[in-house]
Amino acid sequence: MRSSFEEYVKARGDALRRFAYLLCGDRHLGEDLVQEVLVKAYRRWQRIEAEQPDAYLRSALVRSHVSWLRRRSSSERPGAVAEERAATGDLADEQASRDELWARLRLLTRAQRAVLVLRYYEDLGDRQIAEVLRCSPATVRVHAARGLSKLRAELAAEKSGASS
């Protein structure tokens, strides 16, 4: 059991952390979320491994993320740590775009953000997202529509404010 779990984490750990980062918008919180879910999954790994571990863990990450605020006893957040990487283009524009995207995504509810990440990052359909979130496909569509509508409204407000 232990070796198959370790092999899975080595093979899929980076993808899980990227997914959690997209859910949280914070690398450190994403890592904490993945660690918490993997600790729980380790106890039931034989059953999880026999089913679909990717789907199970993705669902567990989303459910844990959505319910995290209720469990967190502190509002403490780690500060950002600059990472060194080779320059490949205009990093200032790339970083500004990324920061702008996260600022907009933070305006959404956790459920809306989870639906949009599952739809556009994980490329899941409404039925698959509904299974992950344990809701109906209609609820998924409502969260997606409201989230996209809010993002569009923010962009429109910004454009109208910039052109004035």
Average pLDDT over residues 49-57: 87
Average pLDDT, the chain: 83
Judge whether 58 and 132 are in contact, CB under 8 Å.
yes
Distance CA 133, CA 74 (A): 25
Judge whether 128 and 90 are in contact, CB under 8 Å.
no
What pLDDT score does 3 carry?
80
pLDDT one-digit tens code per residue, 111-123: 999 999 899 888 8
Judge whether 120 and 112 are in contact, CB under 8 Å.
no
> Which residues, 6+ apart, have CB-to-CB distance to 20 below 8 Å?
29, 30, 31, 33, 34, 61, 65
pLDDT one-digit tens code per residue, 59-74: 999 888 887 654 554 4
Domains of the chain as residue ranges with CATH: 1-72 (no CATH), 91-164 (1.10.10.10)
104: which 2 tokens?
């907009």
Crossing angle, helix 53-71 and helix 110-120, to 10 degrees?
A: 160
> Considering only CA atoms, which of 39, 47, 62, 33 is closest in space to residue 132?
62
Q: How far is CA 144 from the centre of its chain?
A: 14
Distance CA 141, CA 111 (A): 11
What pLDDT score does 41 carry?
92
